[in-house]
Structure 1
């Protein structure tokens, strides 16, 4: 599958939907960034990506033990000061709830030790539900969960990035530049990150490209799942972050 013509996509969530980085797996220099309102539209895009690597949790356990899903627990220790970017995702019932207080109550009831939900995690539940509604075990051959900071760790010789992308919820130009320079070493055009797309931050754009770089590794057979033997949820979905 890893020939030059195989198109892949790296995807990151943004306020109004999603940003996707498309390119042939053998040619990151041909990357095109586009925004979408629905995740399904990325799967159906004219580029017809063979692999879609998305920064969004896939696979939701019925109960949570400790600090999140097995996937989150498997990657945090690798990321040093960047590990706070890995949110603890609660049990399925809590993620499916639209009211924050009710979601917290459901999370408390389905976690050991009992744990509420951070507002940051709650804010991505709508997008988790959007992907979960589409996902099937068969679609796992095409759609993979990734995480940008784990992607950068992998691209950076398995070392976490030294600077944060955001400081006090605001974009950090130095952290974005550090990541853009790393992506350039892997063939991504630095001109991609000169100005943000409408409705999309530069941090989202570098994240989408980092996800695309892991999609290339998936196509080439060099990506690995965290944890190495992923569990599955009640829908049969794999619970793993790939890098």
Structure 2
């Protein structure tokens, strides 16, 4: 068990942090939503009622949407684009292992089965990471719209105005403001990491070059 935990520590730690912060978001979100409801003369809600609300769906998926978009775009952009001196870039002056043609790989017992099979399976597998991230982005984008339409309709009706459909909500400035305010911060964070890794170091991290490495050296 200890060996397994060590081998999967990075995933386990991030998933544990996700659960802690997601739980905090749910509890604080339910309290905030209840306060807003009571301010409008409505009864407070339970945590379960909050989880079924458009407010919860909107708050959750507008954030997930930006994260998956950032990661999907980063995976794709690093195929074609470079940053001299950054640990986040492939080397400029030599071929990276990621560019090797899997059809010419030596097949062994541990080789992933799509590589062994070839054809359509390999064609899909070569881009499976970006496909997954874009699918998760589109799913989150959709759920952001679904939850947002419900929350927006509640707000509209409380002011004596008509509710909106999912498609109508996608045409509102509120939806795009929520999306853009998250998207811009994600790409700013990536840009800072890419640029800072040229000159700054973090000993022991694979996201950093070795501490003594020259600034112009590109790649981890």
TM-score past 0.5 threshold: no
TM-score, with length taken from structure 1: 0.26
Q: Which structure shows the higher strand fraction? A: 1
Q: Which structure shows the higher helix fraction? A: 2
- The structure with the largest alpha-carbon Rg is 2
TM-score, with length taken from structure 2: 0.28
